[in-house]
A and B are shown apart, each in its own frame.
Chain A
Amino acid sequence: MRPNNYPPRELCLWLPNWPLQRLRWEQPELRRQKLVLYEHARGGRRIVVADDYPSGLPIAEVTHGRLLAHDPLADAAALGRIAELCAEFAPSVGIDTPDGFQPDTLRLGITGLGTLYGSEERLLAQLAAALRRRRLHVRLAIADSWGAAWALAHFADHSVISPPGPGPLAALPIEALRLGAECEVLRELGIFRVGQLLALPRESLAERFGAQLLLRINQALGLAPEPIHSHRPAGEISFTIQWEYAVTQRSALEPVFAELLTQVERALIHKQQGALELACELCGEPTSISFIVSVFRPTTSAKHLAELVRLQLERQPGPAAVSGVRVTALRMAPLPVWQPLLFDDERPAEGVHVRQLINRLSNRLGRLAVVRALPVAGAHPELVYRYEPLTGAAARKTISRWKTLPRPTRLAREPILLRITALAAGLPRQVQWQGLHTIAHAWGPERIQTGWWRGRDIQRDYYRVATTAGERWWIFRRLTDGQWFLHGWFD
């Protein structure tokens, strides 16, 4: 069958108010509520789309409805799923991505499909039914150019199948031609409908409004081509192996992973990237499992990655039978470039060993079990650090502010209340904590008063003290009630 035997036909599928529909599709409990989706714009939160309010309104004006943050990425992902669904109806499906707008429209190339379904009406009816089952509200239009199909789907008041020719377009408003600022001027000239616009001499129009207007007219009339771009993204690193029959032996998986990871390695080297996170999927019956392998520094080594996969596999209660395996690179980062050394030295090798150890521990014990502390700006001692997993993140420089401050190497989980048995010159002399200690020297105080905005206003005078036994502590006096606490140890 040669496509040019058939006149070109295009189907446009528009999901009005897609961000709202998408939320209700994914969270049916929202169907009965009025929704207000907002985004953070300059000068505060503004409405993106809402049931009862116009777009662009500041949230401050909203009096009712449930406030939710607009999530364009989730919208795009869900639209991709709809596109996948539509791929069952037509061989080529594209997502319409207009400049500066959130996509909410799909394009189906249906040239010649009418005969396949019996008629275009039946194709339209089946597609509509499939979407209606999912409670999606759509507008559909079929025409012989993408421009015309788009116009009819967005501006006709019901779903239509247009006969060939510009006839049905004439009554639509000029916005249906996907025009920009020209619309405003055209309306000033009294041109409101497509029919009026088409009646004007094209040359005069081109002179005044430029080539884009003419292109849009020609696209609507099918005089200018507009290729379809498939919705499937290109360039992902993902490899799959499928078997006719399910495999039950765990040991059989290892060479499979080794093979897949070698492919991944090749692809990574080709891209000059190292993997930070890999998703491994075991497709099985009845369930599939997937796990994530993450590493400390980007790597391409299939051997090392295979070892990490093995460590994870041993932890995973896998499916009894596996019918396929997929490995996908989730996060990548550029490979560190080493200056080649004239003579071998130990440095990089040693680094490699530490990195490999970190990777093994992380993949064996879990990513959150191998962490490092990062400084956080502020004065409140309990809150000046946070933990971060070592693997799965791009390398980052740490600030060296801790070097300038006299801070203990260990901090008590909670400040420990001290019982003072003797005081001298306002400072503790003898302290009861896991035995009796005599304090020989004290340096300080360092006064820390902070945190009022957290509702935890701390007021403390910190001292570094040395006991006669040679221990060095970090203690403080709470200024509000004069009680003493042990907060850390200088080991």
Chain B
Amino acid sequence: MPDPADPKRRPLSVAPARAGEVPYAELTCRTNFSFLTGASHPDELVSRAAELGYAALAITDKHSVAGVVRAHGAAKAAGLKLLIGATIAPTDAPPTVLLATDRAAYGRLCRLLTRGRQQAPKGECQLSFADLADFSTGLIAGVTSTNDGAGAQRYRELFGDRAYLFTSLHRGPNDALELTQRKQFSQQLGLPLVATNDVHYHTPARRPLADVLTAIRHKTTVAAAGDLLHANAERHLKSPDELQVLFAAAPDAFARTLEIANRCTFSLDELRYEYPLELAPTGLTPLEYLIQLTWAGARERYPAGLPDKVRALLERELALIAELQYENYFLTVYDLVKFARGRNILCQGRGSAANSAVCFCLGVTSVDPAHIEVLFERFISRERNEAPDIDIDFEHERREEVIQYVYERYGRERAGMTAEVITYRPRSAVRDVGKALGLSLDAVDRIAKSLDSHRTLEPARCAAAGLAPQSAIGRQLLALVGQLLGFPRHLGQHVGGLVITQGALCELTPISAAAMPGRTVIEWDKDDLDELGILKVDCLSLGMLTAIRKAFELVEIHHGRPLTLATIPPDDREVYAMMGRAETMGVFQIESRAQMSMLPRLKPQCYYDLVIEVAIVRPGPIQGKMVHPYLRRRMTGEAVPYPNEAIRQVLERTLGVPLFQEQAMQLAVAAAGFTPGEADQLRRAMAAWRRPGVIEAFRVKLMEGMRERGLSTEFAELVFQQINGFGEYGFPESHAASFALLVYASAYLKHHYPAEFCAALLNSQPMGFYAPAQLLREVQTRGVAVRPVDVNHSRWDCTLEAGAIRLGLRMVSGLPRAAAVAIEAAQPFRSLDALRRLLPEHVVARLARADAFASLELGRRAALWQALRPAAAGALLQGLADDEPPLELPALTPHEAVIADYATTGLSLKGHPLSSLRGKLQQLGVATAASLATLPDGQQVKVAGIVLMRQRPATAKGITFVTLEDETASANLIVRPAVWERHYQVARTATACLATGQLQNQQGVIHVLVTRLDDLHTLLGKVRSVSRDFH
């Protein structure tokens, strides 16, 4: 599956602030976190303010502090004083700017926003003046209204000498008059007047974008927006000189900006993160407790005695943990894992945490450090001084239990989900800007579509949409889209990031209710948390863990063999042989098409081969051109030349080819003399968006280091390129190792218990690459019988009947689970009427359509005819013999029956939709998918089938891989962009295709290079789309 490109933009490299001659602090400034209002990124504003020599800049987004961390990072780099605040619009008082003077006041501001969010629907904030009154201490209020004297008076009474009247002049029709009036107003109320510029963007060049944002906000076009737009571009960061001239008639208002800036001493650096403390039992410090747990765990993990390597690792790690005071973090994670184990929820740590022997001994991760190269620096390093990051996978159906446990254990005051900033992507940006510029929706859509793969406007498509890229509007669109890309659109919820604190979380950042019931979410994303050094635990969900647990349960019921991840027998030859034959449908990670074509070449023999298999079919190694050298060396056993012994140590286990992120880092250490911490910084710099410019410095250091060690420039360049390839896509070895454990476990289950494994997969849907139809077809070839859904035999889940799989009611599309529960409770049924008395008519009809009445000797049509009869008729006749004469309805043809099966359950046990069409297809000269293997390479072929999958990996230059399935096998198509474009409609939407093209058979890997695509739909009738599209 292609990784989505990182939508994050690179922050500016900021110039240091220069001391201004005219001292001025801007106290009202909106970033683009005032969604669809602010037209500049926080760092752009900070950087420009520093350049202009501002004494300070306040970030005052509307009802939000979501942008302040980004501004803080930039301000620190630029040496600019940053004030933290927000703009508040109470429902019953004039709007005001609130600025935090100290840590406590900031906490109150967060509490205030939290309350506002609780009182409003998602994404909004509703506050009254009374709410403000509860949290006003230490906050400075800058009232912006000029006509509500009574309202402003209330602010003065509440905030006392911390209340001001903010005013800004934007070259309106009557600036001079207005300033005079406001001076009077300020005197009457006793609110000191303060000059601000109510900044919306950092440079006047952003005015068009600000206009577009206004139009988007009001769901109109720029041309029709009229007075909604500002009449000029004055809301940018102006030079202090210019503002001083503007406020020449009110010099104290200008001077007062500094007074306020001086009153605000709060900096986000003061947010000292505190880990939860209650995890250690009384009498033990958290560190002592962690050490105790670790050694106890080690004894359990290594009953035969602790290997020296592991003992050394543990000692080193524990020392570093103690030094950096991370013990509470480990205890927090340990607590979660202990909870999950107690509830019999499968879980396993992934990612860099698997580099830690401590994590292994605590049971957080499962990769044995005795067997794998671990690099603790990848996880925690002294140089980095960033919070460690432990990701844990839980069963996808039960992760919510873990999250709710966190809330229960720490309270909603102390825990929340991390935010995810949803930003403008090319498509959404084109769509919104296009609409605001008045392009018709379909023209906008057309252009937006052309952007998926190319990221630039494609002239042909634009012209077809009636838009010349060189025209004025074309250029405006391009420029504005370019500016809008990466702008935050709204705040979402990170998939699993949990933040837990010792103190009140809502004094750290505002918390709001998430869209999902029972969840709360903070305003900062994971990078913001990193910047501030705040702990986060990622509770991720993994469908395969659910499937494995369900398979374990079925194995225990039907074979009496209790299995766990830890007790699966390792190194089973037959299991590896099965993987070598690429019979891995349903197996974790190695079931994809790319993996399946790799398996027969790699022929895994041991656990470590699986680690490599998982890591090698990734964009990083593929782009770094490491796959083929590795396979060649493995197949031919050719000797690998290593420049020196240190490098041999790093690369030997992967035959001289760096496959893992750790190896890239170790190479930097071994070949260029980096410290482990520096190597980790290098890896982070490679992640592209974080610190541009830094990369170049690392490159120089890397090349020089290698030259000093007598390595050739060519080799050095190669190493740099290989490391570069990992930036975004490479797997850490520890991560691959964690996954490989699950690969083996699922393969073991598949080989030894195919029926149980398949049923477990079906009961964990949706997950994996394959639809139930394929999983079932495959398991049937392994000799497992499959029985259809039946109201008298099926439970909700798929079950096993004497070794055969009985499909569950969950396979009937659209059947509510509650109905299935009612059916389970009332089984068996002696007539359809009995069911009708239990369930609503449409549910019975749904079951009839799914042909689930075979045990009552009712065919699909006869059952439907009965089910359609209104329930009232049944109720009247309750207990009486049905007087309606039975009806002879035409029988379904085999083909009709298969089509109806697909329409209702997405699969058919009666045959394949294509088998009855084979006669027709043969006349058209269509080959079966199975016969492709027997045809010579290069032959022109036609092949037809249901579209199972469309995939466009980011690494494939716009090529789309389509999988077709007919009654014999599946066929893999390669569709080049030009062909895709020519047969756009069919290629994109058809559920069944006839493809014409050239057969490619390379070492048994078979593809059809498509030249023409046709829709089979008219021949096939209605088939529910089972295709899973990945674009």
Residues of chain A having any CB pair with chain B under 8 Å: 43-45, 58-61, 63, 185, 188-191, 196, 200-201, 204, 207-209, 376-379, 401, 405-406, 443, 445-450, 452-455, 461
What CA separation (Å) do A185 and B864 show in the bound complex?
9
Nearest residue (CB) in A for B227 is A377
B171 touches A453 (CB 8 A): no
CA distance A191 to B438 in the complex (A): 50
Contact A447 B208 (CB under 8 A): no
Whether B868 pairs with A58 at a CB distance below 8 angstroms is no
Q: Does the CB pair B173–A405 fall under 8 Å? A: yes
Instruction: Report the separation of the CA atoms of residues A455 and B474 in the bound assembly, to the nearest whole angstrom.
Output: 12
Q: Name the one of A44, A209, A378, A443 contacting B442, with C-beta atoms under 8 angstroms.
A: A44
Contact of B440 with A45 in the complex, beta carbons under 8 Å? yes
With contacts A447-B232, A447-B234, A450-B229 taken as known, whether A44 is within 8 angstroms of B441 at the C-beta atoms is yes
User: Quick one: given A63-B464, A204-B884, A401-B227, are A188 and B171 in contact (CB under 8 Å)?
Assistant: no
Q: Which of B226, B444, B465, B861 contacts A376 (CB 8 A)?
A: B226
Report chain A residues within 8 Å CB of B222.
Answer: 453
Q: For the complex, is B818 an interface residue (Cβ under 8 Å from A)?
A: no
Contacts of B900 in A (CB 8 A): 188
Name B865's contact: one of A189, A376, A446, A453 (CB within 8 Å). A189
Given known A59-B442, A200-B887, A378-B226, contact A406–B869 (CB-CB < 8 A): no
List residues of B (872-929) whose CB comes within 8 Å of A's CBs. Answer: 873, 884-885, 887, 889-892, 900
For the complex, give the distance between the alpha carbons of A201 and B884 in Å. Answer: 10
Closest residue of A by beta carbon distance from B449: A60
Is A406 a contact of B173 with CB atoms below 8 Å? yes
State how many angstroms separate the Cβ of A192 from the closest Cβ of chain B: 8
Contact yes or no, A454 B887, CB < 8 A: no
Q: Does chain A have a CB within 8 A of B207?
A: yes
Q: Is the CB of A189 within 8 A of B861?
A: yes
Is residue B623 within 8 Å, beta carbon to beta carbon, of the partner chain? Answer: no
In whole angstroms, how far apart are the Cα atoms of A452 and B476 in the complex? 9
- Is the pair A453, B231 in contact by a Cβ cutoff of 8 Å? no
Contacts of B176 in A (CB 8 A): 443
Q: Are B870 and A208 in contact (CB under 8 A)?
A: yes
Question: Are B864 and A188 in touch, CB under 8 angstroms?
Answer: yes
Residue of A nearest to B443 (CB): A60
Residue from A61, A209, A377, A446 in contact with B171 in the complex, judged by beta carbons closer than 8 Å? A446
* Residues of B contacting A209 in the complex (Cβ-Cβ under 8 angstroms): 868
Closest to B173 in A: A446
Interfacial chain B residues near A448, Cβ < 8 Å? 231-232
Could you list 14 further interchain pairs (A-B, Cβ under 8 angstroms) beyond the known A44-B445, A189-B861, A190-B892? Answer: A59-B442, A60-B442, A60-B443, A190-B889, A204-B869, A204-B887, A207-B870, A207-B873, A379-B229, A447-B232, A447-B234, A448-B232, A449-B232, A453-B437
Chain B residues, Cβ within 8 Å of A189? 861, 864-865, 889
CB-CB under 8 A from B438, the residues of chain A are 453
In the bound assembly, the distance between CA atoms of A63 and B982 in angstroms comes to: 10
Shortest Cβ gap from B980 to chain A (Å):
14
Report how far A212 CA is from B1028 CA in the complex, Å.
40
List chain B positions with a Cβ less than 8 A from chain A.
170-176, 204, 207-208, 211, 222-223, 225-229, 231-234, 437-438, 440-446, 449, 464-465, 472, 476, 849, 861, 864-865, 868-870, 873, 884-885, 887, 889-892, 900, 984-985
Query: A461: which B residues are within 8 A, CB to CB?
Result: 171
Whether the Cβ atoms of B231 and A379 lie closer than 8 Å is yes
For the complex, give the distance between the alpha carbons of A188 and B869 in Å.
Answer: 15
Closest beta carbon of chain B to A189's beta carbon, Å: 5
Contact between chains at B476 and A453 (CB < 8 Å): yes
Report A-chain residues with C-beta under 8 Å of the C-beta of B208.
Answer: 452-453
Q: Which residues of A contact B440 (CB under 8 A)?
A: 44-45
How many angstroms between the C-alpha atoms of A188 and B899 in the bound complex?
A: 11
Contact among A43, A60, A379, A450 for B446, CB-based, below 8 A: A60
Closest beta carbon of chain A to B454's beta carbon, Å = 17
Nearest chain B CB to A413's CB is how many angstroms away? 22
Closest chain A CB from B1021 CB (angstroms):
11
Cβ-neighbour of B869 out of A201, A208, A447, A449 (below 8 A) = A208
Kindly name the residue among B204, B231, B884 whose own CB sees the greatest number of chain A CB atoms within 10 A: B231
B868/A208 in contact, CB under 8 A = yes
CB distance from A371 to the nearest CB of B (A): 21
Do A450 and B887 form a contact, CB below 8 Å, given A61-B984, A208-B870, A378-B226?
no
B873 cross-chain contacts in A, Cβ below 8 A: 207
Q: Is there contact, CB below 8 Å, between A450 and B232?
A: yes
- In the complex, A379 Cα to B214 Cα: how many Å? 15
Give the distance to chain A from B964, nearest Cβ to Cβ, in Å: 22
| CB <8 Å contact, B173 and A188 | no
Complex contact B446–A449 (CB within 8 A): no
In Å, the complex CA distance between A290 and B486 comes to: 61
A36 CB to closest chain B CB (Å) equals: 12
For the complex, what is the distance from the CA of A201 to the CA of B211, rounded to whole Å?
Answer: 67
A445 and B171 within 8 A (CB)? yes
Q: Are B227 and A196 in contact (CB under 8 A)?
A: no
Which residues on the A side are within 8 Å of B892 (C-beta)? 190
- 11 A-B contacts (beta carbon < 8 Å): A44-B445, A45-B440, A185-B864, A189-B861, A209-B868, A377-B227, A401-B227, A449-B231, A450-B231, A452-B476, A461-B171
The docked-state distance in angstroms from the alpha carbon of A392 to that of B975 is 61
Residues of the A chain whose Cβ atoms lie less than 8 Å from the Cβ of B225: 377
Is there contact, CB below 8 Å, between A43 and B441? yes
Q: How far is the CA of A344 from the CA of B152 in the complex (A)?
A: 50
| A449–B236 CA distance with the chains assembled, in angstroms | 13
Determine whether the beta carbon of A61 is less than 8 Å from that of B985: yes
Q: CB-CB < 8 A to A45: which residues of B? A: 440-442
A447 engages B171 (CB within 8 Å): yes
The 8 Å CB contact of B211, one of A185, A406, A453, is A453
A185 touches B442 (CB 8 A): no
Contacts of B890 in A (CB 8 A): 190-191, 196
Q: Report whether B445 and A58 are in contact in the complex, using a CB–CB cutoff of 8 Å.
A: yes
Residue from B227, B438, B472 whose CB has the most chain A CB atoms within 10 Å: B227
Chain B residues within 8 Å of A44, by CB: 440-442, 444-445
**Closest chain A residue to B845 by CB distance?**
A185
Most buried by A among B222, B873, B891: B222
Contact status of A58 and B442, CB under 8 A, knowing A376-B226, A449-B207: yes
How many angstroms between the C-alpha atoms of A201 and B883 in the bound complex?
13
Q: Which residue of A lies closest to B223 (CB)?
A: A453
> Within 8 Å CB of B889, what residues of A?
189-191
What is the CA–CA distance of A63 and B446 in the complex, to the nearest angstrom?
11
Task: State how many angstroms separate the Cβ of A384 from the closest Cβ of chain B.
Answer: 9
For the complex, what is the distance from the CA of A452 to the CA of B173, rounded to whole Å?
21
The docked-state distance in angstroms from the alpha carbon of A147 to that of B518 is: 58
For residue B1015, give the distance in angstroms from its CB to the closest CB of chain A: 11
CA A191 – CA B890 in complex, angstroms?
8
Residues of B within 8 A of A452 (CB): 207-208, 211, 476
CB distance from A90 to the nearest CB of B (A): 40
Q: Given the complex, which residues of A lie within 8 Å of B849, measured CB to CB?
A: 188
A59 to B173, CA, bound (A): 46
Q: How far is it, in angstroms, between the C-alpha of A158 and the C-alpha of B102 when the chains are bound?
A: 87
Across the two chains, which residue of chain A brings its CB closest to B892? A190
Determine if A447 and B231 form an interchain contact, defined as CB atoms under 8 angstroms apart.
Answer: yes
* CA of A185 to CA of B841, assembled, Å: 14
